[in-house]
Amino acid sequence: MAGWLALTLLMWGNSNPVLQPALGSASPVSPPAPPAAIAETASDDAVVRVRLYADRQVDDALLRRAQSDASRLLSSAGVANAWRICNAPDACPPVPETVPIVVILSSKGRPSGRENCGMAAHGTNDREGSVVISVPCVAGVAFRLSRHSAMRGNPLLLMPRHDDLVGAVMAHEIGHLLGLRHAPTGLMRATLEAADLAALRRGQLGFSQQEAARMRVTLESTLASQDMKAVP
């Protein structure tokens, strides 16, 4: 499936994750009081739980800024999200009966310069899955967009950074795991344009109201299904 990311499947063993290859038409939503990112141990079940990994070549500051941006984009859509940064062997011990979304930032580039900058796939339900992002690929996209002739000289595109774009890709792919498809415009469009990057840096790129509602419905329906299975 063409887009910012391709599909992958994450399978868990006793230690490190093993990867197998598989990856709006409305204005951005701004709820009156969006929920903030919360601790992974929060008791509220209607939460997207994310564990964030990165290989050693990925800058820790970039990882944390990208995570903050992804969390903000989800929160602005009314989707509560809890993150844990797994940058040490004992940072993310297994949690019984909890299977989160797993995001992995990779320092490896994409073959042949392709701009589908990573991979993602569903787990056993709509709150589970995995996303893999090639940070060098995202950096290349940000550089290319900064040189776009129609936006030449735009100070927002001249910023020497790509952590915000990595965060947007994370939120985009988590959106897919919560039931969203590609859209003609906005955060869920398949191909990012220079104007979209500028909008992201103005704080004007996000999920549409319809997309935000769909993600919340997906969370609620998944919880309802799990509750029914738990009834003896």
Distance of CA 116 to the CA centre of its chain: 14
Domain residue limits, the chain: 33-226
Mean pLDDT (whole number) for 32-41: 44
Residue 223 has a pLDDT of 65
Of 28, 77, 69, nearest to 212 by C-alpha is 77
Q: Hey, what amino acid is at 154?
A: N
| Sign of the C-alpha dihedral computed for residues 45, 128, 76 and 185 taken in this order | negative
| Sign of the C-alpha dihedral computed for residues 98, 180, 145 and 69 taken in this order | negative
Residue 225 has a pLDDT of 58
Distance, CA of 2 to CA of 221 (rounded, Å): 28
CATH for 33-226 is 3.40.390.10
Q: What is the pLDDT of residues 108-138, one digit of tens each?
A: 998 776 778 978 888 877 668 999 999 999 9
Residue 158 predicted with pLDDT over 70: yes
Residue 106 predicted with pLDDT over 90: yes
Residue 35 predicted with pLDDT over 60: no
Residue 154 has a pLDDT of 78
